[in-house]
Amino acid sequence: MNLSFLNGQSNVFSGANPFEVSDYVNQHVGSHGLRLSNSTGAAASLNHRKAGSLDLCRLSYGAQARVVSEGLPDIYHVQFILRGHCRYELYRESLSLSAGHVLLINPEEPIDLTYSEDCEKFIVRIPSSLFSEACIEHSWFKPNECIKFNQVPYKFEELDSLIQLLGLLCQEAESSMATPQMLQHYNRVVTGKLMTMLKHNVSLTPPSLQSVSFDRLVKYIENNIKRDITAEELAQYSHLSLRSLYLLFEKNAKTTPKNFIRQKKLEQVYSTLINPTSHVANVTAVALEYGFTHLGRFSEFYKSNFGVLPSETIRSRQKQI
């Protein structure tokens, strides 16, 4: 299948030893182990380009190959099968993917992929922080656990607008005219597209469309986000019993009031740290400003939500300036 995913400008290997290609992939795309049934005469190829926070990679090992990994922390892989076929072993399930299929692999999920000799793939490597940013930008409430995409294969025709978008991103990434800010805008659109087109565990329905009383509570929390808001205070404000309040949050946010408030505080901290115009003395000052007095737990909660430590967020902001 001939798609415009990276051209000769991004070529790193052509007619190469598959293990050389594998070493490069380990450094730039994701850690894995490679096993070949027969490497005699195998001619592997790889095109790679960095596009903002995304890595774009088009590769073929030129031999029947098995790729295994215990799972990639904080990284999502979207895999497009361009030629040949691939088998994906996930726990007790086996998925057979032929040319024209797409699969998204979640962080920490064990990877066991077997490529046919003629298999060629286009892979998009996405840091988990981008999906967290998308949830904040679009007011999608992220669950306490990691964002998980359903392990179901999609056909190219089901994702036509996404494929066209990625084709444009590849062109921009290879263009000398593209700026870091432009590529980051593409990153946001790509992650937003994936969230709206693929199945996952995030509710995309805004709270204001689910419950008027819940919407009032959300606004109250946002207006008092730097204070220590309790469930009792919310119950009094909304004239509800504690039991009714917990049921309201369970219905609309699939979590408790305490977890919801913490999530909103973390989102505000993230927005402050990532904003290049905000005057941030240090991470500790921002954490304390939003009521996080236990800094160790704060860092754990932050990394669980955004895939990076607070200090790494500040460093990524400085790179974009």
**What is the per-residue pLDDT across 27-37, written as a single tens digit (0 to 9) for each?**
998 889 999 98
- CB burial of 250-280 (b: ≥16 within 10 Å; e: otherwise) equals eebbebebeebbbbbbbbbbbebbbeeeeeb
Q: What CA–CA distance (Å, rounded) separates 294 from 304?
A: 16
Q: Looking at residue 4, what is its pLDDT? A: 77
- Calculate mean pLDDT across residues 291-306: 89
The answer, yes or no, to whether residue 146 has pLDDT greater than 70, is: yes
pLDDT value at 13 more than 80: yes
How large is the average pLDDT for residues 86-110? 90
Res. 102: pLDDT tops 60: yes
User: What pLDDT was estimated at residue 317?
Assistant: 65
pLDDT band, very low/low/confident/very high, at 2 (cuts 50, 70, 90): low
Helix (H, G, I), strand (E, B) or coil at 50: strand
Question: How confident is residue 319, by pLDDT bands cut at 50, 70 and 90?
Answer: low
Q: pTM for this structure? A: 0.72
Confidence category of residue 193, pLDDT binned at 50, 70, 90: very high
- Residue 100 gets the label, from left (phi > 0), alpha (psi -120 to 50) or beta, of left
Beta bridge partners of 54: 51
Q: Distance between alpha carbon 5 and the CA centroid of its chain, in Å? A: 20
- What is the Cα–Cα distance from 251 to 248, expressed in whole angstroms? 5
Distance CA 186, CA 198 (A): 18
Domains of the chain: 8-197 (2.60.120.10), 207-320 (1.10.10.60)
Average pLDDT, the chain: 88
Q: 215, 208 in Cβ contact below 8 A?
A: yes
Three-class DSSP category at 42: coil
Percent over 70 (pLDDT), the chain: 94
Residue 308: pLDDT band (50, 70, 90) is confident
Is residue 134 over pLDDT 50?
Answer: yes
Between helices 257-274 and 295-306, what is the axis angle to 10°? Answer: 80
Rg (CA), the chain: 22
Whether 100 shows a pLDDT value over 60: the answer reads yes
Report the percent of the chain where pLDDT is more than 90: 56
DSSP per-residue string spanning 219-249: HHHHHTTTS---HHHHHHHHT--HHHHHHHH
pLDDT of residue 258: 94
Tell me how far apart the alpha carbons of residues 39 and 160 are, in angstroms, rounded to a whole number.
35
What pLDDT does 212 receive? Answer: 57
pLDDT digits (tens, 9 = 90+) for 208-261: 434 557 888 999 999 999 999 999 999 888 888 888 899 889 888 889 999 999
pLDDT of 209 reads: 38
Is pLDDT larger for residue 19 or for residue 37?
A: 19
